[in-house]
Structure formats: structure tokens, C-alpha cells
Structure 1
Amino acid sequence: MSDVILETRQLTKEFKGFTAVSKVDLKVQRGSIHALIGPNGAGKTTCFNLLTKFLEPTSGSIVFNGVDITGERPAQIARRGIIRSFQISAVFPHLSVLENVRLGLQRALGTCYHFWKSEKSLAPLHGRAMELLAEVGLAELAHEQTVNLPYGRKRALEIATTLAMEPELMLLDEPTQGMGHEDVHRVAQLIKRVSAGRTILMVEHNMSVVSTIADTITVLQRGAVLAEGPYGEVSKNPQVMEAYMGTTEGQLQGAH
């Protein structure tokens, strides 16, 4: 099997008179952390919405594991193993930390909608849920109500629930957005840790995160690919520096 897990070919999304994503060719290598970066309005989130079929592309194609999935629905794409987290924390606040992860695991039991079943039917999931919580550093908070978690820990829980869905490809949409420095560092290290044996495609604004953990970076500007490569190469690209001028040029150069 090819080392490319996900490929887009000339992927384009037009809204009335406006091209949000323009002829994007993207190749994500299996087992890598691939970051999608760019100034505000560059088309990063639209790209994610196309990959998960929240939006239909105007033209172009999406290939996952060698299969063209352009015509598939969001649920089919999730079943293939492309699992996405969102910019806004999407956990159930009034369930415990453990219960949140267990919900993600329920799909494999086929009891997602069996609301009348005894909670005992979920007991087989307990061990795996605790393993996932240990993986993201939340095992000691398993029985805490989620609403009580600090923001950074909620994002860690979201990564655990995403892992519970057994993703082959994890799409992380701005995983460190709105975090303080300490939480950013913790979540970046967590992403690096859980990436072992998995593939991650992430949209991220924080250049220190991108420079630390991403293997490959694709820079979008006005919906098109401006540059691609490892951080050291992309950060020295004059076009990229110009695109970030006045906002993150300093970050691009000083992120190490």
C-alpha cells in the first residue's frame, strides 16, 4: 500500500463569486503529523470541511487509502477512519470524563442507540477507556464531571474521545486555540505522543507547536497552496514570510 494515506487532487470550493479553496493538491504521508497553516481566511477550515464532507467540493477529488471518497457522505467517511475534532471543545459537560470516552468506544459494541440497555453492558469498555485516559494524562480524573475540567484538559479529553473512535487519520482543527502557554505545550506534547502509529492532519495557528511537532507543513494563502515542506524550509520561504508579514513573521523565524 502506498505511503500516502490521503490525497486531494485539484480540490476546489467556490461560493457565489468567491473561491475559498483553489486547486489544492495535498498528500499526507502515513504515520506523519501534517500541519495546514496560513493567515486568517486562507481556506484551512474549509479544506477540513471538504475532507469530512461537511461541504461538497465544486471540483477535484479526495482519495483515502487509494479509494476515491469524493462522493461519500460524512458518516461513511467517519466509518473509514477519518475522525475529526473541532475548534470548539465538543465534549459532554455533565458526563464524567470516563463516560465521555466510553461513548466514543460504544460504536464498536453496536449499542450506540440502545438507551434502554443496562449500564452494565458498557462494562467491557471500562478497561480500554481507562487506557485512553492514561494515554492523554487524565486517568486520575476519570470520575470527575467534565464541566469541572480546565480548558486545556477538556481538549485533552476531546483527543481521547477522538482516539476512542479508532481513527486511521485524525483531523485536529486548531487543537491549542485559546490556551495559555503551559496548556499549549502540554497539548502539543500530547499530540506528539498519540501520533505514534497514527496519522494526524492538523490546522494550527501556533507556530511554536507547528515547528515542534509537524513533519510536513502546507501553507495556504487565499485558498491555494503557497508552499509545502518541513518547517525549516517553509519558514525561510520569502513568499511565506511575506504572507505572514506584520502578524507572524517573527513567529515563523523565532518559533524554535
Structure 2
Amino acid sequence: MEEQAVGEQTQPSSTILETRNLTKDFKGFTAISDVSINVKTGSIHALIGPNGAGKTTFFNLLTKFLKPSAGQIIYAGKDITNARPAGIAQQGLIRSFQISAVFPHLSARENVRVALQRKLGISYHFWRPVRILDQLNEEAQATLEQVGLGPFADTKAVELAYGQKRALEIATTIALKPRLMLLDEPTQGMSSEDVGTVTELIRKVVDGRTIVMVEHNLNVVSTLADTITVLNRGEVLAEGNYDTVSTNPAVMEAYMGTTDAA
């Protein structure tokens, strides 16, 4: 009986990320107030809200670029409230912009190799001969194939179209083997064609991973997100699937300043 009980306790949790009453004050201004969310393993969880809702501040708290004034952040069963950014990255929690500042004059393949080389234990040994990274070429190429950039492996990042650059950013994120990917406005500034391409790419790479994304494009959110948390003035206004939140009168008021009944 005891063995069975222990086995039950060691079953993987369905929750990979949880915030408990997370709060951030800036000299009297409360940017995030008592926010609690629960992100399910293997899901796409979207954060939306009008300008000034606190979405970026919340992301900065998750990735430890800001320290919470109160509350907790639990990732993979561990309290990471006071962890350092590099520490959580090593545990598989990766924010897109942390590694997506691609090197413009390196090829797509070379950019992915920079991310892959960490596992060789030479991440900071840039004085080593470049040929030492040739062993990563095959995996780099396979990663580029995943995001549709296989034919552009030798193209410099600066020469890629905008949507392709965002795909390369996602490729470098994938190269770091994330358990949880935090994507900050992945379709911002894109044409409708590029939005469609990146939306399908995100849907493809979620396999075996969890994604939390801040996204302004509600069409993208409605297509991708399993759960949506709506923030407004630093507080959770609503949560649920797209049908639930899109018909919520408080959400309509926050976005449009009116409701159907008004």
C-alpha cells in the first residue's frame, strides 16, 4: 500500500506553471495585482488585454527580469520566485526574446548552431575554432526544417524576410530544448500572410511543449489558445476558452469601451 501511495505522488503534474497572488508595485503604482494563473502542461495559454493591462510586466516577472512585490511563481513543481533568469532558462523555461536576437550577419544555420552549442559545454568559448561546431550542422539543419527554413540554411539572417526572421527566432528557441516557451507578441508587425505562416508554425512546434504567449491579434488567439487569461489594469478580468472570454461583458467593455447592452 505504501509503494502505491508513493507512486501516485510521483505522477507528473498536469500543471507546469502557476502564479499565486503575484503582485508588482512601482513606487505606489500597482502594475500587477494579485494575479493567479494555472498553465496546463502541453497547452497553449494566451495572455491578452488592452494597452497598459500589465502583460509585459507579467512576462518580465515570469522570466525574472523583475522581482515580484508579493506572491509566488511555481514552475515544474519548484518555487522560482527568487530565481535568476539564467537559472530558469537552464530548467527549460525560455522566453523568445532572450535568445531570439538573431545575429544578422550569420547564416540561419549558424544562428541555430549558437543556440545548440550550449550542450557541448562551449557556450562561452568563442575563441575555439569554428570547425568544432560542424558536428552541430545536421541537428541545426533538422531544426531549420521544422520551421520551414531548410532551403534558407545558408542565407544570412539580415537577408531573410520579416516572417522568416521570426521563424528563425522560434528555431533558436527550439534549439534550447524548452519545456515551456514564452512567446512575446510573435506576430507583431506582420503581414496577414506571415501571420498565417507563424500561426501554423506555433501550432506545429507545441508538440511536446507548453507555450505561454502574449498576443494582440485575437484571430491568432482564437485559432491557437486552449486557455486565455484577460488582464486589465494589472488584474485578471476573465479566463477561459475563446468563446467564453470573447462574450464576457467585462472583456468587451475593456477592449471596446462598450457592451452589447450599452
**Farther-moved stretch of structure 1 (199-208 vs 88-97):** 88-97
Query: What is the root-mean-square deviation of aligned Cα atoms in Å?
Result: 1.7
Structure 1 residues 87 and 128: alpha-carbon distance in aligned structure 2, compared to 1, 3 A threshold:
closer
Once the two structures are TM-superposed, the CA of residue 85 in structure 1 deviates from its matched residue by 1.1
Q: Distance in 1 between matches of 2:33 and 2:109?
A: 42
Match of 1:70 in 2: 81
Give per-residue Cα distances to partners, 1:3-51, cap 9 Å, x unaligned: 0000000000000111001110010000000000000000001001000
Equivalent residues in 2 for 1:53-132 (5 A)? Answer: 53-86=64-97, 90-132=101-143
1:176 to 181, 184, 187: 187
Q: How many residues align?
A: 249
Does 1:159 find its partner at 2:166?
no
Unpaired runs of at least 5, structure 2: 1-11
Give the letter for the 2:108 counterpart.
V
2:47 to 36, 49, 53: 36
Give per-residue Cα distances to partners, 1:215-251, cap 9 Å, x unaligned: 100000000000001111111111111111159x99x
Conserved 8 A contact 1:87-1:174: no
Give the letter for the 2:67 counterpart.
E
Q: After the TM superposition, list the runs of 4 or more consecutive aligned residues in structure 1 that deviate by more than 2 angstroms.
A: 86-89
Once the two structures are TM-superposed, the CA of residue 123 in structure 1 deviates from its matched residue by 1.8
Unpaired runs of at least 5, structure 1: 251-256
Q: Distance in 2 between matches of 1:13 and 1:115?
A: 38
1:10 to 16, 21, 29: 21
Q: Distance in 1 between matches of 2:180 and 2:173?
A: 10
Match of 2:9 in 1: none
Match of 1:46 in 2: 57
Once the two structures are TM-superposed, the CA of residue 128 in structure 1 deviates from its matched residue by 1.0
For the residue of structure 2 that corresponds to 1:116, the secondary structure is: coil
Match of 2:7 in 1: none
Does 1:149 find its partner at 2:181?
no
TM (norm. structure 2) is: 0.92
Q: Distance in 2 between matches of 1:125 and 1:199?
A: 25
Match of 2:32 in 1: 21
Give per-residue Cα distances to partners, 1:124-148, cap 9 Å, x unaligned: 2111111110000000000001101
Q: Distance in 1 between matches of 2:19 and 2:105?
A: 39
Once the two structures are TM-superposed, the CA of residue 197 in structure 1 deviates from its matched residue by 0.9
Once the two structures are TM-superposed, the CA of residue 87 in structure 1 deviates from its matched residue by 10
For the residue of structure 1 that corresponds to 2:104, the secondary structure is: coil
How many percent identity over aligned positions? 65
Match of 1:254 in 2: none
For the residue of structure 2 that corresponds to 1:105, the secondary structure is: helix
Q: Distance in 2 between matches of 1:64 and 1:115?
A: 32
1:140 to 144, 151, 172: 151
Give the letter for the 1:174 counterpart.
E
Q: Distance in 1 between matches of 2:91 and 2:55?
A: 22
Q: Distance in 2 between matches of 1:67 and 1:202?
A: 21
Q: Distance in 1 between matches of 2:225 and 2:139?
A: 28
Conserved 8 A contact 2:99-2:169: no
For the residue of structure 1 that corresponds to 2:256, the secondary structure is: coil
Match of 1:208 in 2: 219
TM (norm. structure 1) is: 0.94
Once the two structures are TM-superposed, the CA of residue 86 in structure 1 deviates from its matched residue by 2.8
